[in-house]
């Protein structure tokens, strides 16, 4: 059984993301004093009185709006309410009870879920502001709880009320054994669309407006291939084009999503090919040592003949010369073309990055490699390689001990890496080689 889900909902700019960040103890949701900053559902975890909860931060609900993004934000909040065990309805004491608050309250009551009204921005110590008492008019069974999402006051009372509303049987523990998959790429490459295709529902906001996704969003998918947690990320733009503060946070989130991931799906727009920006984005995954798959999306829109796939593949690998190890798939999020194949590839490259090779087998490969191509020499000094051992996985990392690290040229390291790949595969994952002179300490595994 999964952890109970608590959705934080309310109209825009009442402090939902600040409260969410305070409760989970990290800055995951973007916080900015601009309505509509949080657009999708953001997930996090917290623990209170020894009981673990999953929290959802939602975009602000505008009950009556014709705006495309705002209406989709409302839809996302409604989906969060539907999936939640308890709802925290956050209001703002400074603006007092508004007509929009009343409309949201009516919507929430229809859900039939336990609702905890929380009145935010009660920042002053001492007596509560007069406006706080207005919120009793909403008529919830639970009396309003005064909180300050900035200072954290009242959050203990809030969590007590949440715990009290959930039956003890719902707190059964479950290990998260899913593969974490970050979906990265330029704005409008189809990242949210591909996840919606995986899930089969409008899980993420999808529109043709570049930059719609601003936060990293987690989506759990379980099917015959296994369990996967997909992390949708804000599209990564060229640094010089990142002007507003919110988008800078979004790029940071994308980097953080890659760090959290086991596997990265690198989305490339088939109509644009691999751009300089795609190279930079792929480099983030490569430098982080993550197993990766290159997805060429929108393949349904490309005119093709019998040479198109081979020529396109060649161009992709020429542009991403450092990622020759990554499998390449031509897909369409719109039509579903080859989308099921992605799950098999994720499972495969994940297994490859977790592979561990015995020291004996490694040194057999090393001996064969040095026989085929003699180690380099310089000014009469020849490189002697003593032995190799694997110290960690994800990415597979090997320490090679030799007589002189300076003689171990990059080209020879690449040769050894290619020999490892020829023998053991390691498809989809970077390999890290650490060169040490005999007597130096082995890095911690």
pLDDT digits (tens, 9 = 90+) for 120-164: 999 888 789 999 999 999 999 999 999 999 999 999 999 999 999
Q: Which of 212-216, 353-357, 378-382 has the highest mean pLDDT?
A: 353-357
- Spelled out in words, what is the top-level CATH class assigned to the domain 179-353? alpha beta
Kindly state the DSSP code that residue 306 receives in the 8-state scheme. T
For strands 179-185 and 263-269, give the pairing. parallel
Tell me what pLDDT residue 45 has. 82
DSSP string, 173-201: -----PEEEEEEESTTSSHHHHHHHHHTS
Task: Give dist(CA 141, CA 118) in Å, integer.
Answer: 13
CATH fold group of domain 359-437: GMP Synthetase; Chain A, domain 3 (3.30.300)
Q: Is the pLDDT of residue 217 over 80?
A: no
Domain covering 5-171 in this structure, CATH number: 3.40.50.300
Q: Which residue has the higher pLDDT, 210 or 330?
A: 330
Contact 63, 13 (CB under 8 A): no
Tell me what pLDDT residue 219 has. 82
Task: Give dist(CA 163, CA 330) in Å, integer.
Answer: 47
Q: Is the pLDDT of residue 234 over 80?
A: no
Q: Is 295 helix (H, G, I), strand (E, B) or coil?
A: strand
Q: What is the mean pLDDT of the chain?
A: 84
Tell me what pLDDT residue 195 has. 87
Where do you find CATH 3.30.300.20 in the chain?
A: 359-437
Where do you find CATH 3.40.50.300 in the chain?
A: 5-171, 179-353
Tell me what pLDDT residue 297 has. 97
HSE-CB for 68 with a 13 A CA cutoff: 6
Tell me what pLDDT residue 63 has. 65
Q: Which residue has the higher pLDDT, 409 or 169?
A: 409
Q: Is the pLDDT of residue 247 over 60?
A: no
Q: Which distant-in-sequence residues (6+ apart) come within 8 Å of 87 by Cβ? A: 6, 7, 9, 81, 108, 111, 113, 114, 115, 116
Q: Is the pLDDT of residue 431 over 90?
A: yes
Mean pLDDT over 294-315 rounds to 95
Nearest Cα residue to 320 out of 289, 342, 293, 353:
293
Mean pLDDT over 339-368 rounds to 96
Tell me what pLDDT residue 249 has. 45
Tell me what pLDDT residue 75 has. 66
- What does the H/E/C string look like for 372-440? HCCCCEECCEECCEEEEEEEECCCCEEEEEECCHHHCCHHHHHHHHHHHHHHHCCCCCCCEEEEEECCC
Phi and psi at residue 317, to the nearest 5°? -70, -25
């Amino acid at each position: 059984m999964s952890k109970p889900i608590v959705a934080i909902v309310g109209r825009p700019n009442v402090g939902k993301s600040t409260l969410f960040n305070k409760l989970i103890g990290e800055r995951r949701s973007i916080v900015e004093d601009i309505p509509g900053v949080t657009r999708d559902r953001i997930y996090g975890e917290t623990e209170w009185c020894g009981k673990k909860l999953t929290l959802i931060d939602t975009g602000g609900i505008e009950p009556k709006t014709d705006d495309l993004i705002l209406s989709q934000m409302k839809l996302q909040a409604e989906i969060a309410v539907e999936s939640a065990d308890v709802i925290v309805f956050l209001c703002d004491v400074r603006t007092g009870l508004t007509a929009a608050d009343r409309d949201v309250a009516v919507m929430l009551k229809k859900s039939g879920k336990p609702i905890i009204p929380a009145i935010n921005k009660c920042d002053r110590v001492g007596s509560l502001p007069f406006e706080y008492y207005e919120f009793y008019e909403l008529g919830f069974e639970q009396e309003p709880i005064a909180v300050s999402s900035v200072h954290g006051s009242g959050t203990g009372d809030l969590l007590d009320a949440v715990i009290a509303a959930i039956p003890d049987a719902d707190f059964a523990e479950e290990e998260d054994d899913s593969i974490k998959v970050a979906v990265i790429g330029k704005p409008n490459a189809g990242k949210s669309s591909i996840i919606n295709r995986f899930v089969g529902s409008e899980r993420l906001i999808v529109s043709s407006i570049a930059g719609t996704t601003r936060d990293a969003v987690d989506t759990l998918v379980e099917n015959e291939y296994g369990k996967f947690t997909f992390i949708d990320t804000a599209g990564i733009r060229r640094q010089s084009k990142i002007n507003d503060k919110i988008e800078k946070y979004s790029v940071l989130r994308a980097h953080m999503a890659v760090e959290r991931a086991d596997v990265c799906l690198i989305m490339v727009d088939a109509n644009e090919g691999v751009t300089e920006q795609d190279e930079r984005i792929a480099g983030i995954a490569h430098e982080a040592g993550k197993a990766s798959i290159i997805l060429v999306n929108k393949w349904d829109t490309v005119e093709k003949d019998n040479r198109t796939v081979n020529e396109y593949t060649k161009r992709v690998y020429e542009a991403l010369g450092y990622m020759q190890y990554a499998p390449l798939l031509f897909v369409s999020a719109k039509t579903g073309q080859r989308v099921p194949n992605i799950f098999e590839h994720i499972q495969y490259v994940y297994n490859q990055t977790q592979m561990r090779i015995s020291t004996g087998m490694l040194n057999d490969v090393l001996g064969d490699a040095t026989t085929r191509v003699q180690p380099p020499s310089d000014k009469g000094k020849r490189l002697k390689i003593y032995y190799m051992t694997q110290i960690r996985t994800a990415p597979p990392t090997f320490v090679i001990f030799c007589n002189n690290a300076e003689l171990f040229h990059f080209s020879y390291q690449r040769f050894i890496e290619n020999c490892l790949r020829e023998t053991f595969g390691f498809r989809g994952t970077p390999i890290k080689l650490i060169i040490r002179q005999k007597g130096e300490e082995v890095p911690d595994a």
